[in-house]
Chain A
């Protein structure tokens, strides 16, 4: 059964990867000309994906660490999987934002000539530290007497894991702050934003971890046992919390007579992309909630987790695009006309195909990461990951 699923999935992956690769090559030949974003909405689908993937990375690591510290069955001995999925997600997110740069081959400047006053440079450094910390933790977990032990032989795992945990909580929240500091966009200047980003990170991170565990451990664990139980409840709680917070924010806007951000919220709910909120975001969450609550098989629960992992990118898009789509200076839109000087944005085919490539790239990183590092741990410990 799993064999067949694997086969079908790898076929789908191949198709997605190949089409995406063609789109990617075209992007490198033509620069940004095939992209649909412009100067008034300068960030589009790839930026949303970046925030989504780094959020997943943070969520995966935070949940994995909690499971490790509280010794929930299946977490301690599988912590290396957590590290692989988390690091693979950060790298995928960074890949997405790298593609979005107008001068991508200068990206290293952010590392050797940063302005730490900028949230972007700060984040870039944090990801770097996180990847290094995660790598060291990976190595230290090989130095344990028993894989279910808390400490490694030199007792370095806990302090480093605490640091990693801090990073993993910080970077989704800082993604929210990334927007929050932009005073030019009133919709983004909400103190709730870092919280929303953190909650969606935990929710989608939990979903990805659940999906990976479903593939890796469906034979070992019962659905009612850890880690499935903990992850299922976390995702369910996360979805509910996210929508309550979102409701609080939107309802406030409609109750306030002169809200600056009303236009942005109206765009989300009733604008040309209303279906993203109602069908993808809300609809996806409701279907996922049903599957996660009622699901009795790995397939249904896994599908629920998959839906959350994919549709929660709409939460990012619904913050990103409407925040930019309202002009602060009224009349600017009409002052000078050009396709790139519009306040509406629709992703182009090239952007969608590259988004698929980014997804396929992330899946490949996780898959080959687990394969490759399994061989490595096999040599080192005599057992796989």
Chain B
């Protein structure tokens, strides 16, 4: 009887011990309120040129700006595999350049590849390609569109007569015309944000009456006003997927030049002979 009692007690004890070991934390893990601070802290990501490409590109931008303007050549590489089609760059560009309705510098074009059910979506944002052989420059009757030494195709709003020949000539549809419209037109009053001046091409432009840039052709200029201040173009800074690379193509060590050397790069409508400075990775 006694033996049975001992055996019975032993089983119960071992069951209790197993259960207790399952329910309670292992002895090495501290428990209790006061021990929380002992949990090892997560390491924060160190912000440096290796951890975020923006930091590297920012540094390279400063390097490029130290050179004379004719020795730099701005270039953009867009990795379509990273672009999620969120349109944040489009919106950021609108806000940065105070674009009115109907004027867009960087729409994100969506492309469906394959046939249902084997389809895939691809997004390619379309800024101005800052072509090396731009058709828009060739057709402008008053030299209001011209090629800067750093590769950016510039529009001189004060010279542009608004004939829209350049708009027709651009194969990428990269130019839009400013028709002098406002988002809050036909409401009790125009909102102040619509009347803010934009800072394109190093000047302050107030859209009033028929003043430029109303009536002019407009397009992406790689945020020239930001570049001059050592800042990346707004779309590059905004991109959540870090799908944009930007920098000086003349610097072989730059990230953008590195990306431009990838084997999977394509240019849009290359057959048009415009030699774009925007490259897509596919």
The reply to whether A43 and B164 contact each other, CB–CB distance below 8 Å, is yes
**Does A33 count as interface, using CB distance less than 8 angstroms?**
yes
Q: A42-B168, A118-B165, A335-B126 are in contact. Are A33 and B177 (CB under 8 A)?
A: no
Q: Given A102-B161, A109-B161, A335-B126, A39 and B176 touching (CB < 8 A)? A: yes
B214 CB-CB contact with A under 8 Å? yes
Q: Taking the complex as formed, is A4 at the interface, i.e. its CB lies under 8 A from any CB of chain B?
A: no
A40 to chain B, nearest CB (A): 6
Per-position binary interface string of chain A over residues 32-47, scored 1 when its CB falls under 8 Å from any chain B CB and 0 otherwise: 1100001110110000
Near B by CB (< 8 A), chain A positions 91-143 give: 97, 100-104, 106-107, 109-110, 113-115, 117-121, 124
A-B interface, 9 closest residue pairs, ranked by CB to CB distance from nearest: A102-B162, A102-B215, A340-B102, A184-B171, A335-B107, A336-B107, A121-B141, A42-B164, A39-B176
Which B residues have a C-beta under 8 Å from some C-beta of A?
90, 101-104, 107-111, 126, 135, 138-144, 159-165, 167-173, 175-181, 210, 212, 214-217, 268-269, 272-273
In the complex, 9 of the A-B residue pairs with CB atoms within 8 angstroms, ordered by the A residue number, are A31-B215, A39-B173, A42-B177, A102-B161, A114-B142, A120-B165, A182-B168, A328-B272, A329-B268
Chain A nearest CB: distance from B123 CB in Å? 9
Q: A109-B159, A109-B161, A338-B102 are in contact. Are A118 and B139 (CB under 8 A)?
A: yes
Knowing A109-B142, A182-B139, A329-B173, the reply to whether A39 touches B111 (Cβ < 8 A) is no
Q: Contact between B161 and A39 (Cβ–Cβ < 8 Å)?
A: no
Question: A64-104 toward B: CB 8 Å interface, digit per residue (1/0)?
Answer: 00000000000000000000000000000000010011111
B181 and A33 form a contact (CB under 8 A):
yes
Distance, CA A101 to CA B109, complexed state (A): 29
Residues of B within 8 A of A257 (CB): none
**B160 partner residues in chain A, CB cutoff 8 A:** 102-103, 106
The interface residues of chain B lying within 8 Å CB-to-CB of A103 are 160-162, 210, 212, 215-216
Which of A38, A183, A340 has a CB less than 8 Å from the CB of B171?
A: A183
User: A184, B142: Cβ atoms under 8 Å?
Assistant: no
Nearest to B111 among chain A residues (CB) is A331
CB distance from A332 to the nearest CB of B (A): 5
Task: Point out the residue from B169, B210, B268 that lies within 8 Å of A184, measured CB to CB.
Answer: B169
Say which residue of A124, A185, A340 sits within 8 Å of B177 (CB atoms). Answer: A340
A26 interface residue per 8 A CB criterion: no
CB distance from B187 to the nearest CB of A (A): 16
* In the bound complex, CA of A94 to CA of B96 (Å): 38
Residue A282 CB within 8 A of the other chain: no
CB distance from B100 to the nearest CB of A (A): 10
**B168, B171, B178, B179: which contacts A329 (Cβ < 8 A)?**
B171
Q: How far is the CA of A38 from the CA of B173 in the complex (A)?
A: 12
- CB of A176 to closest CB in B, whole Å: 15
Q: What sequence of 0s and 1s flags, for each residue 163-187 of chain A, a beta carbon within 8 Å of any chain B beta carbon?
A: 0000000000000000001111100
**Closest residue of B by beta carbon distance from A47:** B164
Question: Once the chains bind, are B102 and A31 in contact (CB under 8 Å)?
Answer: no
